Structure 1
Amino acid sequence: MGTFNCIGVLTSGGDAPGMNAAIRAVTRAAISKGIRVKGIFRGYKGLVTNEISELYSDSVSNIIQRGGTILKTARCAEFMTPEGRQVAYDNMVKEGIEALVVIGGDGSLTGARIFAQEFNVPCIGLPGTIDNDLFGTDTTIGYDTALNTIVEAIDKIRDTATSHERLFFIEVMGRDAGFLALNGAIAGGAEAAIIPEYITEEDQLEEFIKRGFRKSKNSSIVLVAESKSKGGALDIVERMKKDFPGYDARVSILGHLQRGGSPTAHDRIIASRMGAAAVDALLEDQRNVMIGIVRDEIVYVPFTRAIKNDKQVKPELIDMLRQLCI
């Protein structure tokens, strides 16, 4: 069994609803086991600039319901260099921090893996990202809340789409992962989802048009996953105008409103469970693992597996969406 006097906790990358619930759980679970906790502000940047403060039980009072992160988050170019990581490690040692809990997405866990290898620091990751794109966990902290936000937006947009008999393309986040777009489309009763995992946008758009989406409907909504490699909703509509003139198409880009808001009960619960499990993992001498939840059970996923493996969208969900939108 591992013994620790003091651990550090930080949030990194894009914020996600439920991060505060995770910070609260890590802090209180550690304190309950006699371990001091230090909060590192602005992610890895705070390790480099030594923005570190001790957290107590009352430091995390009244935050479980708040979106965002009380520890803030920032990008840090310095931490991407060996010199920057050395400064970060020196600050950690100076502060008496013996292990790190990192709450964030793919890039954040990659940073933790490199840091842990270079300096032999025990690091535990929590999957905090609305994209749900980390391998080894059924769901990530923030995904459920973002999905609910998307569904609320679809419901509102459908009111205007129906009134004007228009086709709306709604762009949702997800980087190059289609989980938000596909499941948002299913939950919102959308007619289609254009996602990067499934063939190409061109093929999906053509297939959607050829299905005769207006045969039985006076309006249609299509969800589009933002994609750096394949473009988003604006690119789709430009192509619509060129290849399928005559359709009254509109774009709504939901953008950063998907990141905010009070976390759902589901996100509060998984963040709390994962946060407490991170402390247990350290005490069990685990290191370089991400805490996941699979079939409602806590699992430990090596960083290399969580980061390098692509999480797959289920093809049967795509087929189901086709059946339900006729």
Structure 2
Amino acid sequence: MHNGFEGLAKGQVQEVGWHDVAGWLGHGGSMLVTKRTLPKGYLESIVENICTYSIHALLAVGGFEAYKGVLQLVEAHRHYEELHRHVLGFDTALNATMEKCDHIKQSASGTKRRVFIMETMGGYCGYLATVTSIAVGADAAYIFEDPFNIHDLKANVEHMMEKMKMDMQRGLVLRNEKCHDHYTTEFLYNLYSSESKAVFDCRTNVLGHLQQHHIPTPSDRNYGTKLGVKAMLWVLEKLHEVYRKRRVFANAPHSACVISLKKAVAFSPITELKKDTDLEHCMQREQWWLSLRPMLKMLAHYCISMTA
């Protein structure tokens, strides 16, 4: 289906063979084209096309909108018998942020003392900003999950000034795009610039879609291939269980799952994940990676203690 759930509703369905997908593995972005449109407003058309094209299972590949879209289809089961299908989805990761930060830091070599304030994508989820900050040695990373106030910002600026007075030539601050309604990237730029007292100057950079459409790394290619194969084997196995007289009737919780790679590949019923999901902010309610935040401050030379 081209253009996601909207494409399914509009009949933008194409059968593909091996030759049609040749070379896709080495391209960034989506060759089928993606849209954030959710199925809720197209249910009648989606049901009609599921019948028209004899679709017995759906594999939804994407981010949080894919999860919400599949959840809407599952919740519509009781109204549409045709939606009693096997559905499965998984998320992919982007790896361009670190490269951009490295390029900016390298380009600043030899210049006067300068602080770069960079805005990353990620919605309300600060995973990308946090992990990138640790990898590139950023001085601070502002995220939604770790609330901060003006006193925290002031302390960060003072800490940056002390480091710049010594031997540092450049600093790097990351801000996740929805970390705060009022402390915007422009606000941070004005604050750092105003309080620097001419010790350093500031520059801003909004990465936006520069984080997307990069050539997939070997790790991402292997990860995507492994999940793709496992997903299709799972779909075929479940279809064998419920396919009778050329019909599929799958309404058990395990008929709509999210595939993930933990210690091993796991299939979790999407309805069971709902209680652990913050649908308003499009992320998990509990983030395991928040335990990495103290490491960021330690590497930025803050005086903190690391506890197990």
- For normalisation by structure 1, the TM-score amounts to 0.75
Equivalent in the alignment of 1:19 = none
Count of residue pairs brought into register by the alignment? 267
Equivalent in the alignment of 1:25 = none
Change (3 A) 1:117 1:199: closer
Equivalent in the alignment of 1:193 = 141
2:37 and 2:192 mapped to 1: Cα distance?
A: 39
1:43 and 1:202 mapped to 2: Cα distance?
A: 41
Give the CA deviation at 1:95: 0.4
1:125 and 1:228 mapped to 2: Cα distance?
A: 30
Q: Alignment RMSD, CA only?
A: 2.2
Give the CA deviation at 1:203: 4.5
Q: Spell out, residue by residue over 1:174-231, the C-alpha distance to the aligned partner (whole angstroms, 9 max, x if none).
A: 1111111111111112222112211225344223123234243122111111117435
Q: Aligned pair 1:300/2:271, yes or no?
A: no
2:300 and 2:180 mapped to 1: Cα distance?
A: 27
Equivalences for 1:82-101 in 2 at 5 Å? 84-101=42-59
Equivalences for 1:5-24 in 2 at 5 Å? none
Q: Retained in 1: the 8 A contact 2:140–2:156?
A: yes
Equivalences for 1:118-133 in 2 at 5 Å? 118=76, 119=80, 120-128=83-91
Q: Answer with 214-223 or 182-191: which moved more.
A: 214-223
Equivalences for 1:41-56 in 2 at 5 Å? 41-56=2-17
Q: Spell out, residue by residue over 1:46-82, the C-alpha distance to the aligned partner (whole angstroms, 9 max, x if none).
A: 11110101111222111111111111112436x332x
Q: Aligned pair 1:320/2:295, yes or no?
A: yes
1:223 and 1:264 mapped to 2: Cα distance?
A: 23
Equivalent in the alignment of 1:166 = 114
Equivalent in the alignment of 1:182 = 130
Q: Answer with 157-166 or 303-312: which moved more.
A: 303-312
Q: Retained in 2: the 8 A contact 1:185–1:192?
A: yes
Fraction of identical pairs, as percent: 24
Amino acid at match of 1:293: L
Equivalent in the alignment of 1:151 = 98
2:235 and 2:228 mapped to 1: Cα distance?
A: 11
- For normalisation by structure 2, the TM-score amounts to 0.79
Q: Spell out, residue by residue over 1:67-105, the C-alpha distance to the aligned partner (whole angstroms, 9 max, x if none).
A: 11111112436x332xx2111111111001111111111
Q: Answer with 216-225 or 228-237: which moved more.
A: 228-237
Specify every segment of 5 or more residues in structure 1 that has no aligned partner in the other structure, as ranges. 1-39, 129-140
Change (3 A) 1:88 1:322: same
Secondary structure of the residue aligned to 1:281 is helix
2:129 and 2:30 mapped to 1: Cα distance?
A: 25
Q: Spell out, residue by residue over 1:98-133, the C-alpha distance to the aligned partner (whole angstroms, 9 max, x if none).
A: 1111111112211111113323433433323xxxxx
Amino acid at match of 1:302: P
Equivalences for 1:9-88 in 2 at 5 Å? 40-76=1-37, 79-81=39-41, 84-88=42-46
Which residue among 112, 116, 131 is the counterpart of 2:74?
A: 116
Secondary structure of the residue aligned to 1:76 is coil
Equivalences for 1:220-299 in 2 at 5 Å? 220-227=171-178, 229-230=180-181, 232-241=184-193, 246=198, 247-285=200-238, 286-295=254-263, 297-299=264-266
Change (3 A) 1:315 1:279: closer
Give the CA deviation at 1:169: 0.6
Specify every segment of 5 or more residues in structure 2 that has no aligned partner in the other structure, as ranges. 239-253, 279-283, 302-308
Amino acid at match of 2:156: F
Equivalent in the alignment of 2:281 = none
1:195 and 1:204 mapped to 2: Cα distance?
A: 13
Equivalent in the alignment of 1:14 = none
Q: Spell out, residue by residue over 1:224-255, the C-alpha distance to the aligned partner (whole angstroms, 9 max, x if none).
A: 11117435422321333455554511101111
Change (3 A) 1:266 1:117: same
Equivalent in the alignment of 1:31 = none
Which runs of structure 1 show a deviation greater than 6 angstroms over 4 or more consecutive aligned residues? Answer: none
Equivalent in the alignment of 2:305 = none
Secondary structure of the residue aligned to 1:314 is helix
